[in-house]
């Protein structure tokens, strides 16, 4: 699943399996930001544009619903 700069939301109900970035990180287009797990299938959330991580709104192991804000990314 591809995320664009701005408010990154969960595309489905899932568990946060991995958080691959931290606040202040500069990310590249195509870089994985975090991994969601749904029914034992892991799905990466990937940035479509370069940006800077402004906030991470979830914790490892947290259950999220579709539309839950995962993180905030501003354009680089």
- pTM (whole model) above 0.85: yes
The band of 31, judged by pLDDT with boundaries at 50, 70 and 90, is: very high
Q: What SS3 state is found at 4?
A: coil
pLDDT of 65 above 90: yes
Average pLDDT of the residues in 45-69: 94
Cα 76 from Cα 60, distance rounded (Å): 26
Residue 9 CA: distances (Å) to CA of 5, 53, 58: 11, 14, 11
Q: What is the CATH number of the domain that holds 63?
A: 2.40.50.100
Quote the Cα angle for 63-68-50, to 5°. 110
- What pLDDT score does 3 carry? 54
How many domains does the structure of the chain reveal?
1
pLDDT of 73 above 80: yes
pLDDT of 35 above 70: yes
The residue range of the domain holding 62 is 2-75
């Amino acid at each position: 699943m591809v995320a664009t700069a701005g408010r990154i939301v969960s595309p489905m109900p899932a568990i946060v399996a991995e958080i691959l970035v931290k606040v202040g990180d500069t990310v590249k287009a195509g870089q994985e930001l975090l991994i969601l797990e749904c029914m034992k299938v892991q799905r990466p959330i990937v940035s479509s544009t370069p940006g800077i991580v402004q906030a991470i709104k979830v914790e490892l192991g947290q259950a999220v619903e579709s539309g839950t804000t995962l993180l905030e990314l501003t354009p680089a």
